[in-house]
């Protein structure tokens, strides 16, 4: 009897297990299978495929698709697909999107946007109040919006988010449903190019509360695409929004975004056609894909600068000459070649070549400051000894030991940091110790000033102001480099509407930062993208926020 009972119990355990499982398998939608798309493919007279779709790679699971609580760049990028910001960047230029046109007052403090006629997927019109709702929710202390941005120049935005002012005092108003007025504390030249002004529906936010934007069904879209399905940690499917104001101008009807964490799986997915394009850095695969007739490649700038940050409050690195010596001792060609397999460009400045000051390209007009410094200094080692003497550390670099912190614990991180170590030790004759931590620990060490030299990278925005202002904070940025002249240059630049003058101010600020060696820029990051030849119109402008406009397939 007892044996039978035990057998029954064991059996029941197994049965309940599989009952639950069967439900799990049915749960995700049927669109999972990409092969569904491969129905009979025809072509229109202009050579475009009749069935326009893309399968693309997404680097991570979006955290939450709510403009007031989103966390990272993946979420932000998704907003450009499913929402309509006031402005977008197209082919490197700021263009109207949700706003058809705008007027800026002479003092640069009042922006009046005239909205375009656009609709939410439920048929309601997108109004100026929707854009205000987003801002109000972003400054609501209850949402603890974890970002600092160009919103901060909007009147009372900061005061409201710290609970010191009421939300009704926010400098945003809607004289009528098609007009949005933003009042600023101070002029902000980056306001239009930041393109982060999204609309948000108050009724939808209230309806879903905490669960807003956690599922495809718990949100409302008004962008070029609607989010059809979201299988967490697996894939998102976007379908073209026929109600979108500019729906006639683009071709792709459906985009499947696959979240693939493993790099081998990403490469296999491109190789067998499950993905239409992918950034590839593994040397063997680069060769393999280059040999294929049905694929092409393009270089994509990441608009990101890889750098070494010096702690200017450290007893050794408080000395400018020491920092300069460590900056100049790096062989940037070797580092870019070895670490990025030749895709990155050696950097002798902070601001990457993509950045614009209005219509002027920054890098084309401003020389890289470190190149000039390198001409002045023949021997970094002699400079280091000078610095050491100033600090009273003697004149023997071999007695100097410093620590270089790295924010990863992988085998690759070890190889790469050993290259830095070797370059410094050979050029300067000192001892460099390496320290490895996971990314969160590394960040918190750097923010707390608990380091000597740290590896770091900073992304750029369209305007150089974003990157430069990382070091104009009260604490002197992560380098703890306090320079009043620098702060005033950056502040003045961000309030100067004249492009030529602004460019010069940025240039002076950058020169200070690099020559006083608060950081040592190393290289501008880039990636090599392989795509199947049937994909046309892929955008190489890093800052473009045009969703999939301009892309089409031909001969898939």
Contact 436, 409 (CB under 8 A): yes
CA 195 – CA 58 distance, rounded (Å): 21
Comparison of 34 and 431: residue with beta carbon closer to other proteins: 34
Residues ≥6 apart with Cβ < 8 Å to 389: 395
* Residues within window 20-49 making contact with other proteins, judged by CB under 8 A: 20-25, 28-30, 32-35
Question: In 36-48, which positions are buried (b, 16+ CB within 10 angstroms) versus exposed (e)?
Answer: ebeeeeeeeeeeb
Block residue for tokens 């695409």:
225
Nearest to 422, CA basis, from 307, 346, 333, 329: 329
Smallest distance from the beta carbon of 12 to other proteins, in angstroms?
10
Of 131-150, binders to other proteins (CB under 8 A) are: 141-142, 144-148
- Supply angle C-alpha 453, 458, 462, rounded to 5: 155
| Among the listed residues 165, 202, 268, 286, the single contact to other proteins using CB under 8 A | 268
Site string for other proteins, 48-77 (x = CB under 8 A): -------------x-xx-x--x-xx-----
Q: Which residues contact 437 (CB under 8 A, 6 or more apart)?
A: 405, 406, 407, 409, 445
The least distance separating other proteins from the CB of residue 482, rounded to whole angstroms, comes to 15
Which CB, 38 or 50, lies closer to other proteins?
38
Residue closer to other proteins, measured from CB, 28 or 96: 28
Stretch that binds other proteins, among 271-279, 492-500, 514-522, 526-534 (CB under 8 A): 271-279
Report, in Å, the least distance between residue 174 CB and other proteins: 27
Sign of CA dihedral 13, 15, 18, 22: negative
Which one of 41, 101, 162, 389 is in contact with other proteins (CB under 8 A)? 162
Site for other proteins in 463-502 (CB under 8 A): 470, 473, 475, 477-478
Q: Is 2 in the site for other proteins (CB under 8 A)?
A: yes
Distance CA 506, CA 503 (A): 5
Nearer to other proteins, 211 or 401 (CB): 211
Residues 6 or more apart whose CB falls under 8 angstroms from that of 174 comprise 127, 128, 129, 132, 180, 181
Which residues fall within 8 angstroms of residue 542, CB to CB, at 6 or more apart? 300, 301, 302, 303, 354
Which one of 16-24, 182-190, 491-499, 509-517 is the stretch in contact with other proteins (CB under 8 A)?
A: 16-24
By beta-carbon proximity to other proteins, the closer residue of 318 and 443 is 443
Least spacing, CB of residue 175 vs other proteins, in Å:
31
Residues 202-261 that bind other proteins (CB under 8 A): 210-214, 231-235, 258-261
Q: Least distance in Å: CB of 168 to other proteins? A: 20
Please state the separation of Cα 390 from the chain's center in Å: 41
Candidate residues 18, 117, 248, 293; the one interacting with other proteins per rule CB under 8 A: 18
Largest CA-CA distance found in the chain, in angstroms, rounded: 94
Tell me, rounded to whole angstroms, the distance of Cα 142 from its chain centroid. Answer: 25
Residues 416-445 that bind other proteins (CB under 8 A): 437-441, 443-445
Which residues, including other chains, have CB under 8 Å from residue 411's CB and lie 6 or more apart?
A: none
Minimum CB–partner distance for residue 112 and other proteins (Å): 29
Tell me how far, at minimum, the Cβ of 367 lies from other proteins, in Å.
Answer: 27
Question: Strands, E, within 377-518: which ranges?
Answer: 401-406, 431-436, 453-459
Shortest CB 158 distance to other proteins, Å:
8
Listed in sequence order, the residues at least 6 apart from 1 whose beta carbon sits closer than 8 Å to its beta carbon are none
Q: Which is nearer to other proteins, 2 or 375 (CB)?
A: 2
Provide the minimum distance between the beta carbon of 293 and other proteins in the complex, in angstroms, as a whole number. 17
Instruction: List, in order, residues 6 or more apart from 256 with CB less than 8 Å away.
Output: 31, 34, 37, 53, 54, 55, 56, 235, 236, 237, 238
Does 284 contact other proteins by CB under 8 A?
no
Helix (H, G, I), strand (E, B) or coil at 78: helix
Report the nearest approach of other proteins to the CB of residue 126 (Å).
23
Are residues 465 and 493 in contact, defined by beta-carbon separation less than 8 angstroms? Answer: yes
What would the x/- binding string for other proteins be over residues 442 to 461, using CB under 8 A? -xxx-x----------x---
Q: Where are the alpha helices (DSSP H) in 209-256?
A: none
Is 258 or 509 the residue whose CB approaches other proteins more closely? Answer: 258
Strand partners, 181: 112, 173
Please, which residue, 22 or 359, has the CB nearer to other proteins?
22
Nearer to other proteins, 83 or 192 (CB): 83
Closest CA to 140 of 127, 152, 157, 155: 157
Residue 547 CB, shortest distance to other proteins, in Å, is 23
Q: What is the DSSP letter of 253?
A: -
CB of 492 to other proteins, least distance (A): 20
Name the one range near other proteins by CB under 8 A: 89-97, 106-114, 176-184, 265-273: 265-273
Task: Select 64 or 374, whichever has its Cβ closest to other proteins.
Answer: 64
Closest contact distance (angstroms) between CB of 454 and other proteins is: 12
Ordered alpha helix ranges (H), 27-165: 73-82, 128-139, 157-161
Tokens of 22: 């069967």
Binders of other proteins: how many residues, by CB under 8 A? 77
Alpha-carbon Rg for the chain in angstroms: 26
- Residue choice 274, 533, 536, 541 for contact with other proteins (CB under 8 A): 274
- Binding part of the chain for other proteins, among 15-23, 167-175, 359-367, 517-525 by CB under 8 A, reads 15-23
């Amino acid at each position: 009897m007892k044996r039978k009972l035990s057998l029954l119990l064991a059996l029941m355990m197994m049965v309940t297990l599989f009952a639950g499982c069967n439900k799990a398998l049915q749960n995700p939608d049927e669109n999972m299978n990409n092969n569904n798309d491969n129905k009979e493919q025809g072509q229109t007279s202009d050579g475009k495929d009749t069935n326009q779709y893309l399968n693309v790679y997404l680097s991570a699971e979006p955290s939450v698709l709510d403009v007031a609580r989103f966390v990272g760049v993946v979420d932000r990028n998704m907003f450009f697909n499913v929402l309509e910001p006031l402005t977008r960047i197209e082919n490197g230029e700021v263009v109207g999107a949700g706003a058809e046109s705008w007027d800026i007052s002479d003092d640069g403090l009042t922006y009046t946007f005239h909205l375009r006629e656009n609709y939410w997927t439920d048929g309601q019109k997108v109004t100026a109040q929707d854009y205000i709702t987003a801002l109000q929710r972003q400054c609501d202390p209850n949402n603890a919006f974890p970002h600092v941005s160009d919103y901060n120049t909007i009147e009372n935005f900061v005061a409201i988010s710290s609970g010191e002012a009421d939300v009704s005092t926010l400098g945003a108003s809607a004289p009528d449903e098609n007009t949005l007025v933003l009042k600023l504390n101070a002029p902000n030249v980056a306001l239009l190019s930041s393109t982060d002004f999204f609309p948000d529906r108050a009724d939808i936010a209230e309806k879903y509360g905490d669960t807003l934007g956690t599922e495809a069904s718990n949100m409302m879209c008004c962008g070029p695409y609607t989010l059809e399905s979201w299988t967490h940690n697996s894939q998102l499917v976007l379908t073209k929004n026929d109600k979108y104001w500019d729906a006639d101008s683009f071709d792709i009807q459906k985009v499947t975004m696959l979240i693939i964490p493993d790099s081998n799986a990403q490469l296999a997915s491109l190789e067998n056609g499950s993905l239409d394009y992918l950034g590839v850095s593994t040397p063997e695969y680069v060769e393999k894909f280059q040999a294929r007739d049905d694929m092409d490649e393009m270089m994509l700038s990441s608009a990101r600068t890889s750098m070494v940050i010096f702690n200017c409050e450290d007893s050794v690195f408080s000395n400018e000459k020491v920092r300069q010596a460590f900056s100049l001792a790096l062989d940037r060609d070797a580092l870019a070649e070895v670490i990025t397999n030749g895709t990155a460009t050696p950097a002798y400045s902070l601001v990457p070549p993509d950045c614009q000051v209005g219509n002027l390209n920054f890098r084309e007009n401003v020389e890289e400051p470190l190149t000039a410094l390198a001409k002045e200094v023949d021997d970094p080692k002699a400079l280091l000894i000078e610095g050491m003497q100033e600090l009273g550390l003697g004149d023997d670099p071999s007695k100097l030991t410093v620590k270089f912190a790295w924010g990863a614990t992988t085998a690759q991180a070890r190889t790469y940091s050993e290259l830095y170590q070797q370059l410094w030790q050979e050029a300067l004759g000192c001892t460099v110790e390496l320290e490895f931590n996971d990314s969160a620990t590394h960040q918190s060490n750097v923010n707390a000033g608990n380091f000597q030299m740290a590896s770091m990278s900073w992304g750029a925005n369209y305007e150089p102001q974003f990157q430069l202002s990382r070091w104009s904070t009260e604490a002197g940025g992560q380098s703890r480099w306090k320079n009043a002249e620098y702060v005033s240059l950056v502040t003045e630049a961000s309030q100067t509407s004249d492009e030529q003058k602004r460019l010069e101010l940025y240039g002076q600020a950058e020169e200070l930062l690099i020559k006083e060696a608060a950081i040592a820029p190393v290289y501008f990051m880039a990636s090599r993208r392989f795509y199947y030849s049937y994909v046309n119109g892929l955008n190489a402008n890093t800052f473009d926020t045009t969703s999939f406009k301009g892309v089409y397939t031909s001969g898939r």
